[in-house]
Chains A and B, each alone.
Chain A
Amino acid sequence: MKVGDIAAGRAGDKGDTLDLTLVAYDAHGYEALTRLISAERAASALNRVVPGPVVRYELPDLLALKFVAPVALPGGVHASLRAGLHWQKAAIWLLLELELDGLEQ
């Protein structure tokens, strides 16, 4: 089972910062995300593509987690060498594809 099987997500940016959100569908899913997708685990997924640390924010009332990577996009998305513009919207899949290994069915 992957994160994307129990949560929806969206990625955005502001300047150098990559900003990702996951929203779980129920409290059980939120608890699993909180337990299994630490800031460090998110960072190791994101660091395959972008540099720097990740800060995690927990929003239990909204069943949501935010992952913010403040130096991931040096110079902003327009300074990137990636094909075309705004590749960062796809970055959410780096989190949605993470395996939820420890999740009991």
Chain B
Amino acid sequence: MASRRDDGGYSIGAGAGFAGDRIEPAVRMAESGEVDAIALECLAERTLINALRARRISAEGGYDPRLVRRFRPLLPHVARGCRVVTNLGAANPAAAGRAARRLALALGLPALRIAAVIGDDVLERVREVEWTQPIEDGEWIGAHAYLGLESIVAALADGADVVVTGRVADSSLVAAAPMQALGLEGQALAGALAVGHLLECGGQLTGGNLTEPGVPDLPAEALASLGYPVADIAPDGSATIRLLDGQPGRLNVVSSTLQLLYEVHDPHAYFTPDAVLDFTGIRLEATGHNRVRMSGARAAPRPERLKVIGFLARRGVIADVEIAYAGTGALARARLAADVLRLRLARELGLNDFLVDLVGVDSVLGAGSRPLVSEPPELRVHVSARCDDAEIAQAVEDEVYALTLSGPSGGSGLRSERRPRVESITGFLPRDQVVGRIEWANDR
């Protein structure tokens, strides 16, 4: 499909930056008519773990349960020419494709062509993966290779309006549609992949998670309706990153630099399946209000190995429990409660792998927290413990709840959760061992 733009470029928006992200930024982009395609990045390590669990329960489960909520307002725009590429297929892209197809039919849009990209799931070859650390005890619940843009591009070239994938490198997810439309290669493709990396976290490029020295944070009204980023990519791989007119947010050189370098580790060699990107020569310049021009991305050829993320379930769970104290002397009573819990967990339950801290004092940054300068009017005692089984987790929860009767006065506001003990392990497979394939949801 040709671009909607008349300057030979291609416009793509990032409508979501994680599975639970807001729905309406993508809808506003689609409504604007200014974008050729929208990428929805909806898959992180934690989301994939949840999806793997859902797939165990049902063969048709394992894709993002928000698919219908996300797609319902978008598909009518897709029918008018705005393509969607998304990884919300999670652990079951083929089932996601079928679900999208059912929705398209229900919306009276039977002509929409929906493709799923499969092949990232390498659980059956987990023993062939070269893991970056020794694997001790534990059960593999999933292993996924990071696919590149190849299969997405093939599906788009074959007429797909919607492409749902599982684990695909985020930058490749965004770069696929412009690459297909503009025929990008070499350094131009490097530009599109760099744009992909810039955009994939959505609102984190446009004023979210941003504090600048001497500048007030965006007000609540702006953060509550934050616009998400759009990139106008030129055939040479340079791009203008912008907010749609009238959308609130802050997109400047600093916010762009923070996001360009976000989680890339070595900026000379950011590994994607489609190229090894060098960000050190990139130039970012403000070209207007909430507009930044990006150029100068370079790339070395794609790596011969693909990254694999494996999820190793350890025995037991993490119990995460809190109890609150308020009123005069709350800090002293909270500290007293924390001491009681340390005694009880170590002595009565025999645990040694737990953490007790105070929410509002040191539960996030621990020993790196700023010193307390005044007594908080209320605070929470938090305990997390690695437990071998559910029975011990129950005992930890009970110990915290028992403080309401046998601890300092006024213990209240109890809450608890249990998290599975799943560790993310990185590994590699030779590229030729991983084959992305397309599965069409339509009869063709």
Contact = CB atoms under 8 A, between A and B. Distances in A.
Most A Cβ at <10 Å: residue of B213, B266, B366: B213
B368 interface: yes
Interface stretch (B232-240, B423-431, B433-441): B423-431
Interface stretch (B116-124, B178-186, B378-386): B378-386
B209 A68 contact: no
Interface in B405-444: 419, 421-426
B46 interface: yes
Main secondary structure of the interface of B (DSSP, over half): mixed
B421 A79 contact: yes
Nearest to B421: A79
A48 B211 CA distance: 23
A8 B46 contact: no
B320 A62 contact: no
Contacts, number: 133
Contact of B370 (A57, A79, A97): A97
Most B Cβ at <10 Å: residue of A7, A46, A79: A79
Given A8-B213, A14-B263, A79 B426 contact: no
B328 interface: no
Interface residues of A, number: 46
Interface in A74-100: 75-79, 81-85, 87, 89-91, 93-94, 97
Interface stretch (B22-30, B60-68, B335-343, B357-365): B357-365
A83 to B, nearest CB: 4
Interface of B: 45-46, 49, 204, 209-214, 254-255, 257-268, 279-284, 309, 318, 320, 322, 353-355, 357, 359, 363-368, 370, 382, 384-386, 419, 421-426
The 9 closest A-B pairs by CB, nearest first: A76-B424, A75-B423, A12-B263, A81-B384, A81-B355, A48-B368, A49-B368, A83-B363, A21-B261
